[in-house]
């Protein structure tokens, strides 16, 4: 009886986290990660914002497809560091490069780390699916809060 109640309450706590929508760290920089971190904000994932990003990126990666704005979709957070290599014909035969750093939301089914076309070289890429998981920390505060809540709930149920 007690174990069933604990499982039900744990499931409720988990579902509350996802019912509000996924929150990802959002930043862009053409300098480096430290510059991106300085301007990081919280982004609640939504179809309109992700579609807008995907439209901008499709030319460099066809995996970034858009979806119907009324569709029910799941999201993931992403972190990408890429270099865009370009030649300036007649100016120099040596390629120039532009660094791109991006953290933000995408659709869960998007294969963010695959499919990049020349002249993009991906230096690092990762996706994750818990709130603000794309910050580089291994366990997010929201996970710790949930675990502490479950622990306190178990203590209350067992001691009563």
Q: How many domains does the chain fold into? A: 1
State phi, psi for 158 to the nearest 5 degrees. -70, -40
> Is 101 inside a domain boundary?
yes
Q: Is the pLDDT score of 16 beyond 80?
A: no
> Is 11 inside a domain boundary?
no
Structure confidence at residue 91 (pLDDT): 61
Q: Is the pLDDT score of 12 beyond 50?
A: no
> Is 28 inside a domain boundary?
yes
- What proportion of the chain, given as a percentage, has pLDDT over 90? 56
> Is 35 inside a domain boundary?
yes
In terms of residue numbers, what domain contains 47?
21-135+142-147
> Is 158 inside a domain boundary?
no
Q: How far apart are CA 97 and CA 119, in angstroms?
A: 9
DSSP state of 116: P
The two structure tokens encoding residue 45 = 């994932």
> Is 106 inside a domain boundary?
yes
> DSSP 3-state assignment of 25?
strand
Residue tagged 């949930």 (tokens):
146
> Is 108 inside a domain boundary?
yes
């Amino acid at each position: 009886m007690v174990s069933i109640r604990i499982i039900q309450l744990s499931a409720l706590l988990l579902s509350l986290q996802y019912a509000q929508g996924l929150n990802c760290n959002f930043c862009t920089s053409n300098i480096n990660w430290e510059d991106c971190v300085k301007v990081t904000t919280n982004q609640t994932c939504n179809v309109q914002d992700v579609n807008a990003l995907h439209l901008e990126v499709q030319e460099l990666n066809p995996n970034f497809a858009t979806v119907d704005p009324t569709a029910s979709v799941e999201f993931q957070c992403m972190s990408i560091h890429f270099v865009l290599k370009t030649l300036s014909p007649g100016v120099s035969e040596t390629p120039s490069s532009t660094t791109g750093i991006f953290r933000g939301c995408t659709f869960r089914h998007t294969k963010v780390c695959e499919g990049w076309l020349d002249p993009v070289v991906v230096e690092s890429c990762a996706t994750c699916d818990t709130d603000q998981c794309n910050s580089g920390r291994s366990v997010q505060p929201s996970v710790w809060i949930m675990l502490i809540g479950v622990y306190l709930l178990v203590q209350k149920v067992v001691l009563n």
